[in-house]
Structure 1
Amino acid sequence: MAEMVLEKQERKETLLESISGMALMLVVGLFVLTFVAQNFEIPSPSMVPTLLIGDHVLVDHATFAPPTKWMPLVPYQTIRHGDVVVFLKPTLEGMILVKRAIGLPGDRIHLRHGILYRNGVAQKEPQISVPDESDPIHTYEPFRDDFPNGPADPRMTATWANEWQSHVVNGDLVVPDDMILGLGDNRVGSLDSRFWGFIPREAVLGRPLFVYWSFMTPEDQEQKTSASERVAFFTQVVVHFFDQTRWKRTFHRIV
């Protein structure tokens, strides 16, 4: 009796199935980038030493988002003192910044020669920079280092210059409801809430989790916007990827 050999035929994917698969991957990718996590590059030294220029960080969108019943497994949490937050700058549409939340609603805040006092208690912040008279760039500045008791600063936005004194009570800046006071860790080199005001809670996009890649980047690279300058920097990255990548910062956790 002759044996019958059954050959398994490969089923070829149709064009419609290929398109559907790619569309699903695109939708999932966009969902992750929009609602779960997104990558950002640090362009300024305002958060040194916590974050360096050229750090590429993964930002968690979900943790600080308002809780929802349809996603009960997400570990939602409220913003706490000392959390590093990513947010939309309230005075410039579309600009994304990162600062440390040092004041929450009801907190009474003031700086004394660069030292943060919250509700009358000096805070231990080993990561911050303070005025240094031996450094000509970081010498004492009354407004910046004794905020909010120093004289107004010309770098303040017009809106904040007219508003900030209305929030000062007995020498302390009182944080209003649904607002956050955010300062950079590079306290002597950061244009932060002292210069443009409070961060609306609704403007917070998330928190940076870790550095996934860090490349030695010039401090003025953010201002180099021409096509030739961008091509030049891209070439530098390609040529010096191995020797100018900060390998020790790979997967560095941000706290």
Structure 2
Amino acid sequence: MNSPAAQPDAPPQPVSVATAKTGALHTIQSLLNIIVAAIFIITFIVQPFRIPSGSMEPTLLIGDFVLVTKLAPSTDASTGILPSGRIHRGDVIVFYYPIDPSMHLVKRVIGLPGDHLKLRAGRVYINDQPLAEGYAVYRPTPPDNFRDNFPRLQSTDPDIDSRWWIRMRNLIDDGELIIPAGNYFVLGDNRNDSEDSRYWGFVPRGDIVGKPLLIYFSLREISEDPDPLAATADAATPRGRHPGTLDLLTSFARWGRTFQIVR
């Protein structure tokens, strides 16, 4: 019995020019939607920043990349898009540097409007009560009366802004600094190595950009010691083993800090 003859393959159907154009337009439209959404988010909701100094260590390290949530202009209201602009004691904030508004700084809010603030032996007192600060570190440094016993009018410091020195003298009562309405007093967590409100004054509410939300990437410094976990792992490897390509490619970042919430 003869088998039926094989049917020849159907010739490929040509793609119409109109279909190709529709596909290309759809791709371009999707890309434009993504770009518009990204611009909207960066403009109105969050903004990326890189930490340039060690004044907020150990909370934030040099090379940390953080996403900052922008705040509503009002101190209380929420716009529905932006979170409430209310600032609390202990908040970490990003703001325009009062001396050079083209720069952004990041510090922690210590004093609120109306507070009476002083430092004694480096410890903060608010309204004559010591402030519990689990986030602050005090690394060994030579004594500094102005830094550690602020406000101190008997001695000055070459790093103090002259305009702040003049203004501060009119805001001291019985050895305490009175924080005026609409202003905030900020300090770095690395308390003995931070140029902050002690040296250049208050942060006005209108100069606050937002609050760091999380660390989305952290770039290790060239001179920095390797990750302790990585060092432990290396110690367990046979002698003579050289770091592999993967080790070299991954050692440039602090992967353990990725997606950490900033507190």
State the TM-score bracket (shorter-chain normalisation).
0.7 to 0.9
- 1:39 corresponding residue in structure 2: 48
- Answer yes or no: is 1:98 the counterpart of 2:106: yes
Q: 1:160 to 1:81 in 2, by over 3 A?
A: same
Deviation at 1:105, TM superposition (A): 0.4
In the alignment, structure 2 segments of 5+ residues that lack a partner are 1-12, 224-245
Deviation at 1:77, TM superposition (A): 4.6
Show the 5 A alignment for 1:105-254. Answer: 105-130=113-138, 135=140, 138-149=141-152, 151-217=155-221, 240-254=248-262
Q: AA paired with 2:204?
A: P
Deviation at 1:176, TM superposition (A): 0.6
Q: Percent identity?
A: 38
User: For the residues of structure 1 that align with 2:55 and 2:222, how far apart are their CA atoms?
Assistant: 14
In the alignment, structure 1 segments of 5+ residues that lack a partner are 1-6, 220-237
Superposed CA RMSD in Å reads 2.8
Deviation at 1:95, TM superposition (A): 0.4
Q: AA paired with 1:110?
A: K
Q: AA paired with 1:173?
A: L
User: For the residues of structure 1 that align with 2:205 and 2:45, how far apart are their CA atoms?
Assistant: 18
The more displaced of 94-103 and 150-159 is 150-159
**1:65 and 1:206 in contact (8 A); partners too:** no
Give CA deviations for 1:51-71 in whole Å, capped at 9, x if unaligned. Answer: 011111111114x543778x4
- Answer yes or no: is 1:53 the counterpart of 2:56: no
State the TM-score, normalized to the length of structure 2: 0.77
Q: 1:17 to 1:244 in 2, by over 3 A?
A: closer
**2:146 and 2:152 in contact (8 A); partners too:** yes
Deviation at 1:23, TM superposition (A): 4.1
Q: 1:161 to 1:179 in 2, by over 3 A?
A: same
Question: Alignment partner of 1:244: what SS?
Answer: coil
- 1:72 corresponding residue in structure 2: 80
User: For the residues of structure 1 that align with 2:152 and 2:146, how far apart are their CA atoms?
Assistant: 7
User: For the residues of structure 1 that align with 2:204 and 2:41, how far apart are their CA atoms?
Assistant: 24
- 2:3 corresponding residue in structure 1: none
Residue correspondences, number: 225
**1:184 and 1:192 in contact (8 A); partners too:** yes
Q: 1:184 to 1:168 in 2, by over 3 A?
A: same
User: For the residues of structure 1 that align with 2:247 and 2:170, how far apart are their CA atoms?
Assistant: 53
Deviation at 1:240, TM superposition (A): 4.7
Give CA deviations for 1:82-107 in whole Å, capped at 9, x if unaligned. Answer: 00000011110210000000011000
